[in-house]
Amino acid sequence: MKTRYISMGLLIIVVLLSGCAVIGRGKDFRPFDEQALTQIKPGQTTATEVTKMFGAPSQIVKLSNGNAYVYARSLSKATGVWLVVLTLANYDTQHDRIVFFINQNDVVTHYGSSFKTDTAAYGMPF
């Protein structure tokens, strides 16, 4: 009888603790070429040259004196553990952004950038 209770207890523990783990990463991430930013010269570089170097912008914002070309990328990393009665997950998303301000003559007046995707990390979900 004692063996039966031990077997039932072990079976319950195995069922409750069984599950799976997953590690994932965003597949559509393309990093920016940070060296290409050194080729941008405010007052000289045109909007056409910017699109040749960086491709089509993620967003174009209309301003009163021109446009802002916004380039955005993100990288997501996830770690998860699924148990029968409990799910634990850690999800980290970091972003890279470049914004070019372009005047009415289609010339870059200034730009700003933020590169954070290298800080995206897998983490323990608990």
* Digit-coded pLDDT (tens) for 51-98: 999 999 999 999 999 999 999 999 999 998 877 777 888 989 999 999
Cα Rg, the chain, nearest whole Å: 25
Report the domain count for the chain: 1
Evaluate whether residue 45 is within a structural domain.
yes
Domain that holds residue 57: 20-119
- What pLDDT score was predicted for residue 57? 96
Residue 8 lies in a domain: no
Q: What is the mean pLDDT of residues 1-9?
A: 83
Judge whether 11 lies within some domain.
Answer: no
Enter the pTM of the model: 0.74
Q: Would you say residue 5 lies in a domain? A: no
In a domain, 124, yes or no: no
